[in-house]
């Protein structure tokens, strides 16, 4: 990696990349906006420990005082997690952050961009952004999808967030030529649940297969991400019927209160959290940790191929 004055990469991450040690990128919005305190910090630090325990190096990514950082320190994670003024930064927000000097959690789009800029191939998250219900009128679609069509990383997730239009999201990924492959499943995961009821056309059963896909894409000059759909463990998922019922109530409440645009996602996810007595958070943490474990395995396969 060449020196970049607009991006700080930690010494540990740079050394790991030089030594072909597995590196896993981790996003920061899960602890700046996704989880309540103090659980947000606990989950962020535990996720890093999962990577280390498997022989890898974690690279948690965020914006600190306006500067994107790949490889946040524990103190920086805590600062972002407890900053009441922390913002959420997608790709379009990164340059403005240099003006405001604010702290920010990075979205999937921004995290993927910064991970790739640092030379990291594997990125683990929880749920993807996608097409919102009613997007035909509102045009409300996540920038994550369009970014992933242009950034060559392996991204492990447990499907698009449950509040989204899953069918339309999968159609959009197909239109953008972004491969979506199920890990030991033929069905697209439903974030809080293991099965969204939508089939997948591609499946792999071994981390080495994902590494092969990534290598093939690079050799062919394909710049899109490889999306690995890794279901939440069935014994840790929400009850699918309960989730369907809660989602219907959540959308009705949002419509009644006039909630739309960027306010929709936090409103709906918080509604689900309250309606399930916090069990949605437990499922979120379970799938997040499960994705990190798979990410380290894939990163190890890719690192072995370069050593």
In whole angstroms, what is the distance from residue 103 CA to residue 124 CA? 21
Tell me the angle at which helices 264-275 and 279-306 cross, rounded to the nearest 10 degrees.
120
Q: How many CA atoms lie within 13 A of 86 on its CB side?
A: 25
Phi, psi of 196 (to 5 degrees): -85, -5
CA 86 to CA 104: how far, in whole Å? 5
CA distance 106 to 33: 10
Domain limits for position 43: 8-306
Judge whether 165 and 133 are in contact, CB under 8 Å.
yes
Could you tell me which residues come within 8 angstroms of residue 195 by beta carbon, excluding any fewer than 6 positions away? 185, 187, 188, 189, 231, 240
Mean pLDDT of 274-284: 95
Q: Does 34 fall in a domain?
A: yes
- Taking residues 118-136, report their average pLDDT: 84
Respond yes or no: is residue 42 known to be catalytic. Answer: no
Q: What is the CATH number of the domain that holds 242?
A: 3.40.1790.10
The average pLDDT across 276-299 equals 97
Q: Is residue 1 part of a domain?
A: no
3 state DSSP class of 201: coil
In a domain, 267, yes or no: yes
Model pLDDT, residue 7 = 96
Q: Is residue 31 part of a domain?
A: yes
Looking at the structure of the chain, the number of domains it has is: 1
Strand, coil or helix: 221: coil
The better pLDDT of the pair 261, 20 is held by 20
33-70 b/e with 16+ CB inside 10 Å = b? bbbeeebbbebbbebbebbeebebbbbbbbbbebbbbb
**Token representation of residue 103:** 């702290």
Question: Considering the entire predicted model, what is its pTM?
Answer: 0.94
Please tell me what DSSP assigns to residue 234: G
- Look at residue 2 and tell me if it is in a domain: no
Strand partners, 62: 69, 105
Quote the CA–CA distance of 46 and 285 in Å, as a whole number.
10
Q: 296 vs 5, which has greater pLDDT?
A: 296
In a domain, 17, yes or no: yes
Res. 267: pLDDT tops 90: no
The question of whether 88 is a catalytic residue gets the answer: no
- Per DSSP, what are the bridge partners of residue 21? none
pLDDT mean across residues, the chain: 93
Residue 194: pLDDT over 60: yes
- 95 within some domain: yes
The answer to whether residue 3 is domain-embedded is no
From 27, 48, 76, 141, the catalytic residue:
27
136 falls in which pLDDT band (50, 70, 90)?
low
5 has pLDDT over 90: no
| pLDDT at position 163 | 81
Identified catalytic residue from 48, 76, 88, 161:
161
């Amino acid at each position: 990696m060449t020196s970049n004055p607009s991006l700080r990469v930690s010494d540990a991450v740079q050394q790991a990349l030089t030594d072909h040690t597995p590196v896993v990128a981790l996003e920061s919005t899960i602890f700046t906006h996704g989880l309540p305190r103090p659980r947000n910090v606990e989950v962020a630090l535990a996720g890093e420990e999962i990577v280390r325990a498997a022989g890898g190096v974690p690279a948690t990514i965020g914006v600190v005082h306006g500067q994107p950082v790949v490889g946040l320190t524990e103190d920086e994670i805590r600062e972002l997690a407890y900053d009441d003024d922390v913002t959420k930064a997608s790709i379009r927000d990164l340059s403005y952050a240099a003006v405001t000097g604010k702290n920010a959690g990075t979205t999937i789009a921004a995290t993927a961009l910064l991970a790739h800029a640092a030379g990291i191939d594997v990125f683990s998250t929880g749920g993807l952004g996608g097409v919102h219900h009613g997007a035909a009128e509102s045009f409300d679609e996540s920038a994550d999808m369009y970014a992933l069509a242009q950034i060559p990383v392996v991204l492990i997730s447990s499907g698009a967030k449950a509040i989204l239009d899953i069918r339309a999201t999968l159609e959009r990924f197909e239109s953008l030529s972004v491969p979506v492959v199920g890990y030991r499943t033929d069905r697209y995961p439903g974030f809080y649940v293991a099965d969204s009821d939508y089939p997948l056309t591609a499946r792999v059963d071994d981390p080495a297969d994902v590494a092969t896909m990534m290598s093939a894409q690079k050799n062919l000059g394909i710049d899109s991400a490889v999306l690995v759909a890794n279901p939440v463990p069935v014994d840790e998922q929400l009850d699918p019927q309960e989730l369907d019922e809660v989602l219907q109530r959540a959308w009705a409440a949002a419509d009644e209160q006039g909630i739309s645009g960027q306010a929709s996602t936090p409103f709906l996810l918080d509604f689900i959290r309250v309606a399930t007595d916090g069990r949605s958070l437990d499922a979120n943490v379970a799938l997040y940790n499960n994705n990190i474990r798979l990410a380290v395995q894939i990163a190890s396969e890719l690192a072995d191929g370069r050593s």
